Structure 1
Amino acid sequence: MPLYIASLNSGSNGNCYYIGNDQEAVLVDAGISCREIEKRMKRLELEMEKVKAVFISHEHGDHITGVVALSRKYQLPVYITSATLTSSRLPLESSLAHSFLHEQPVSIGQLLVTPFRKAHDAADPHSFVVSSDGIHIGVLTDIGVCCAEVKKYFSKCQAVFLESNYCETMLENGRYPYHLKKRIRGGNGHLSNTEALDLFVRYRSRHLTHLILSHLSNNNNDADLVNRLFLEKAGDTNIVVASRYQESTIYKIDAVTSSAISLPAYTVEQFVPMQLSLF
């Protein structure tokens, strides 16, 4: 059974990723409003009824903005570590808050979600791999460094949402103060284009069909630049740059082949969040 994936939004103004099969799905992070998640899924003809859980990577606002409203409206379980829940102060219904542990898979129907720790400046940050029938989808964003776990799980995947947050030159020459530049490029900040490209070139599986480059900085990166960098090394891998203003198409991923699903054209209204992350 194939998996279907889409970025509903990706960037410091909000992150939300959809992974599912024909029966059930999960969201990784809910950093845009419940209303925006509903609108974007509707445009993609994705059914909210199939979403069975939300997994939260860490407590920063661009990953949790919509989770409380979404969970309450649809009575969705939210998988979040105790430390992240405490740090976020999210008023989740106690019956809907579920914890998880590093490298202990969580079953959601026929989906298996494996969390693993990552380096980021948060209380207890995790990345995820969602698996089913031998297909593995990685959601690897907000990564300060390509640690051993990142390399291990990246190399297993047929498709990955991979952070390519900043261009080193743009960050160095940009308007950010020194302490913020240091924070971003430090070991607990974000992954640069160069670091992401190195991970892709050195550790990708020969079965990697789709690389969705995610969480690009609005001030310190350029989508065309990122696309060019990765296309030069793409080989048979499809390169997609996720938008910070609209949803992607849906990609069908299976163990042998994958394809993009063609959908009717539509006009997208830009979503402007009330709060922005410094990244």
Structure 2
Amino acid sequence: MQVHVLASGSTGNALFFDFDTTKILVDAGISARRIQQALCGIGTSLEEVDAILVTHEHRDHVSGLPTLTRRYGLPVYTRPGTWENMFCRELIPSACCYELGDSLEIGNVKIEAFSISHDAADPVGFNFYYRNRKYSVATDLGFVTDSVKKAIACSDVLVLESNHDVDMLKKGSYPWSLKRRIMSSRGHLSNTDAGWALARLPRKSKTEVFLAHLSQENNRPDLAKTTVSTILADQGCCLDSEITLRLTYPDRTASLVEDL
């Protein structure tokens, strides 16, 4: 089983889950060409992908869908409200558009969708269940609600947003209206909030965590990892033995390969 964060950040997002005989993309916010190149780099291709799941309609999560659907005929699952508000909906063949409920099965993988707090029509995170393992995705959320905590509890692998450092954001060049949006409960999760969410989360004995959707303007990879690590250590979490933190990037793949 393999998890590959192909791209993560404000310029585009795409995740790839390889469950052996079932292969799933989560979001397609970069070009089809970039996705194909990234997949070729890990030994697979778009022709092998079974489906695309979309978390919400913002451009950095859907801009690659028109080409992916027209050229490869890939089925896309997302909420009805997301379809209605997607800027590129008319460019996607209707035969590729599927409405996403709270659960579905694709191949040998059970999938659950859960609501998250973000300024989109009906944004969701995902849980994937495969061979008694749980893989979760929770990005683009301004606040970790109790329902999200319950949804991502006891994940074996978790892709969690760690978007910004609050001080960098406040001192940065963004207009105040955008800063306020990012820091709101329907914006993006800060490094500190990500650290506290992980510290308070019911866990299995070992969790692999990808820190995702890092802002290029208001964050740094080393700062995100240090902030989250410090909070976890202060709360008595043994890093590496209990939680392993992995960074993601906008322009290269971050991977985890499991021998199940």
TM-score by length of 1: 0.86
SS in 1 for 2:182: helix
2:254 to 248, 252, 257: 248
2:40 to 39, 42, 48: 42
Instruction: For 1:253 and 1:30, locate their aligned partners in 2 and report how far apart those are by CA, in whole Å.
Output: 27
Q: How does 1:11-160 map to 2 (within 5 A)?
A: 11-89=9-87, 90=89, 91-101=91-101, 104-160=102-158
Are 1:172 and 1:181, in contact at CA under 8 Å, matched by a contact in 2? yes
**TM-superposition CA deviations, 1:232-254 (whole Å, max 9, x none):** 43242221110111111343275
- TM superposition shift of 1:10: 0.2
Instruction: For 1:230 and 1:177, locate their aligned partners in 2 and report how far apart those are by CA, in whole Å.
Output: 27
Are 1:145 and 1:187, in contact at CA under 8 Å, matched by a contact in 2? yes
Instruction: For 2:206 and 2:81, locate their aligned partners in 1 and report how far apart those are by CA, in whole Å.
Output: 33
SS in 2 for 1:18: strand
- TM superposition shift of 1:86: 1.2
Instruction: For 1:100 and 1:12, locate their aligned partners in 2 and report how far apart those are by CA, in whole Å.
Output: 24
When residues 147 and 16 of structure 1 are mapped into structure 2, their CA distance, relative to the original with a 3 A threshold, is same
Are 2:154 and 2:204, in contact at CA under 8 Å, matched by a contact in 1? no
Instruction: For 2:122 and 2:221, locate their aligned partners in 1 and report how far apart those are by CA, in whole Å.
Output: 29
When residues 25 and 207 of structure 1 are mapped into structure 2, their CA distance, relative to the original with a 3 A threshold, is farther
Instruction: For 1:78 and 1:27, locate their aligned partners in 2 and report how far apart those are by CA, in whole Å.
Output: 9
Structure 1 residue runs of 5 or longer lacking an equivalent are 255-279
Are 2:115 and 2:125, in contact at CA under 8 Å, matched by a contact in 1? yes
Please report the RMSD computed on the Cα atoms of aligned residues, expressed in angstroms.
1.4
Instruction: For 2:259 and 2:104, locate their aligned partners in 1 and report how far apart those are by CA, in whole Å.
Output: 21
Instruction: For 1:96 and 1:42, locate their aligned partners in 2 and report how far apart those are by CA, in whole Å.
Output: 23
- TM superposition shift of 1:204: 4.3
What residue in structure 1 maps to residue 235 of structure 2? none
Structure 2 residue runs of 5 or longer lacking an equivalent are 233-238
What residue in structure 2 maps to residue 193 of structure 1? 191
What amino acid is the match of 1:24? T
Please list every run of at least 4 consecutive aligned residues from structure 1 whose deviation after the TM superposition is greater than 4 angstroms: none
Instruction: For 1:40 and 1:69, locate their aligned partners in 2 and report how far apart those are by CA, in whole Å.
Output: 16
When residues 220 and 17 of structure 1 are mapped into structure 2, their CA distance, relative to the original with a 3 A threshold, is same
When residues 63 and 25 of structure 1 are mapped into structure 2, their CA distance, relative to the original with a 3 A threshold, is same
SS in 1 for 2:185: coil
Structure with greater helix percent? 2
SS in 1 for 2:177: helix
- TM superposition shift of 1:207: 3.7
SS in 1 for 2:181: helix
What amino acid is the match of 2:254? S
What residue in structure 1 maps to residue 245 of structure 2? 239
Are 1:128 and 1:138, in contact at CA under 8 Å, matched by a contact in 2? yes
What residue in structure 2 maps to residue 275 of structure 1? none
- TM superposition shift of 1:4: 1.2
Instruction: For 2:228 and 2:34, locate their aligned partners in 1 and report how far apart those are by CA, in whole Å.
Output: 30
- TM superposition shift of 1:59: 0.7
SS in 2 for 1:249: strand
Instruction: For 2:204 and 2:11, locate their aligned partners in 1 and report how far apart those are by CA, in whole Å.
Output: 33
**TM-superposition CA deviations, 1:55-87 (whole Å, max 9, x none):** 011111100011121122221110011111111
Are 1:82 and 1:99, in contact at CA under 8 Å, matched by a contact in 2? yes
**TM-superposition CA deviations, 1:41-62 (whole Å, max 9, x none):** 1011134333100001111110
Instruction: For 1:148 and 1:20, locate their aligned partners in 2 and report how far apart those are by CA, in whole Å.
Output: 29
Instruction: For 2:187 and 2:138, locate their aligned partners in 1 and report how far apart those are by CA, in whole Å.
Output: 13
